[in-house]
Amino acid sequence: MADQTIEPQTEIIESHPGAEHNRLLLEWRTPEFVRHAKGKNWFMAAGILTLCLVAYALYTGSATMAIVFIVLAGVYILAHNQEPKIISVKVTQLGVFVGDVFYPYNMIQAFWIVYHPPMVQTLNLRLAGKAITKVTIQLDQQNPVEVRTLLAKEVPEVEGQQETTTELLIRLFRL
């Protein structure tokens, strides 16, 4: 995706209280998540693993566990067969819009950028007082220095933060 930088003070974001003071500073469009390519070998390995887990569950006499493994495999197939939606990310004077969700700066405890192209290019927001405490936003082709410069004026940056072990495993196993 092309870098879609908008000059500061050019647009007022209308969908938030106090909109007259909420000028757009930066905007880009990005997929909501990275969809990992999976070939026949990946699906064969996943199928064999699922069958082995179901067989083990039946061998140990746990029909419930076998059903759970089958349901989990089905849910995974349904959930991950979708194309990621393209969302708009807007950094404004009062906060960050991710799609239609607005995160005011006073709700964002910290941010960090994990940037190791082409594999990982994410902006991460740690939120205060929410059940979801972390929001991960794909940077796609957006300049990370520009994003960092704008956010660092409003929110503390966590330096040296890397992707979690879970995120690394998801990426390595293409889940």
pLDDT of residue 2: 42
Q: Would you state the pLDDT for residue 102? A: 93
- For residue 18, the model assigns a pLDDT of 53
Q: Domain residues of the chain, as ranges?
A: 19-34+83-172, 40-79
- Half-sphere exposure in the Cβ direction for 22 (13 Å, CA): 18
Q: Distance between CA 51 and CA 73 in Å, rounded?
A: 10
CATH of domain 19-34+83-172: 2.30.29
pLDDT of residue 63: 92
73 phi/psi in degrees, rounded to 5: -65, -45
Going through the chain in order, the beta strands assigned E by DSSP cover: 24-31, 86-92, 95-98, 101-104, 108-116, 120-127, 134-138
Burial letters 118-149, b for 16+ CB under 10 A, else e:
eebbbbbbbeeeeeeeebebbbbebeeeebbe
Q: What angle do CA 14, 17, 22 make, to 5 degrees?
A: 55
Q: For residue 69, give both structure tokens.
A: 């493994």
**pTM summary value:** 0.70
Local mean pLDDT, 10-residue blocks, the chain (175 residues): 40 52 87 80 88 94 93 85 87 92 92 86 86 85 91 89 77 69
* pLDDT at residue 5, as a whole number: 39
Structure tokens at 170: 């998801």
98: three-class secondary structure by DSSP: strand
pLDDT of 46 reads: 86
pLDDT of 160 reads 79
For tokens 């990946």, the residue is 42
- Residue 165: per-residue pLDDT: 79
